[in-house]
Amino acid sequence: MSERFIHGYALLIGVDENDVPAWALPDVLKDVRALQAVLTHPERCAYPPENVRTLSGAGATRQSILDGLDWLGERVGADAGATVVIYFSGHGWRSDAGEFYLIPRDVRQGQLAARALRAADFAAAIDALRPQRLLVLLDCCHAGGMGVKGEAALPEGFAAAAFPPALLMGGQKSAAGPGAKGLETLATGRGRAVLCSSTGEQRSYIRKDRAMSIFTFHLIEALTGHAEPKEGATEVLVSDVMSHVYRRVPASARADWGAEQTPDGLVSGNFPVALLLGGRGLSRGQSAPDPLELSAVEAGRPAYHAELHGSGAIAQGPGAVAAGERGVAIGGSVQGSIIITGDKNEVKR
């Protein structure tokens, strides 16, 4: 059985619906579902499923987001070794006054400043968590047309804009910025990192096949071993994630749309954010698996593996049954009569 990343906790927020229909982003639900599946899969990141909460649809309101952060706080408070991942996919806007906002489901026309989630309030709720290790991922500023939706007019006095990562660093001094230069020299063990899908007024694009956003796809790639981790590594480090996303997102945005999209981030410290392939890691010469193919193993359930040489039978997992050569195995609830005949025996039930 694979190991578990027992001290890992995640809050995944995808604002796919909106009370203002023109502001809906239906495709971001794909991002949240794909990331949840990879985080909780026992042969990928191996987070305990009960440690990962998702908010989407009617549940992605301003209060639900704050309640989700409170939920994280309760768990982090009881786990001194906690690693926390917070992921938000939705609109990020900036007012003419320079205030940044995340846009939840329950905003209202004409009441945006009052009903949206201010960056300052979001940052304060994150600071209150105080985990040893924190990674915040923001996939905002979604592109119209080529992105996830048709172009919708923003309210007067607001513009789409990516979050400056410094707003969420909690005053911690950053040791690296765009390009992730020097990440490999940071001490491993604790710290904070913020990674945004784009910079300034750039847009965040969806993949051309519309499977998910470009940013989220390359994030999942990194979590699945495509970031070229050090040989023998059994964990994914925040430096793996940030350096891979920095390298891959701009190339994908240019290839798919001929557009510029440059991730932006800050980090203080280097630390594990997940297990690498359930803690097995990659052996010499082994290729990382397809980032979106999770095999036949159901996320959140144990993985079994066995080999049979010669005659015999194998049964694995709860309720499994097996019979050897010329045998009969029956499992589950049986009603009525069963007659089994052979050369020497007859069994009736």
The 10s digit of each residue's pLDDT in 123-163 is 999 999 988 899 999 998 776 544 433 345 677 778 777 77
Q: How many CB atoms lie within 10 A of CB 85?
A: 28
CATH class (in words) of the domain with range 8-279: alpha beta
State yes or no: pLDDT of 259 exceeds 50: yes
pLDDT at 22: 85
The Cα–Cα gap between 239 and 185 comes to: 10
Output 245 or 310, whichever has higher pLDDT: 245
Mean pLDDT along residues 248-263: 95
Mean pLDDT along residues 169-175: 63
The Cα–Cα gap between 175 and 8 comes to: 23
The Cα–Cα gap between 285 and 168 comes to: 39
SS3 88: strand
Range with the largest mean pLDDT of 126-130, 165-169, 212-216: 212-216
Output 247 or 307, whichever has higher pLDDT: 247
Instruction: State pTM to two decimals.
Output: 0.80
State yes or no: pLDDT of 187 exceeds 90: no
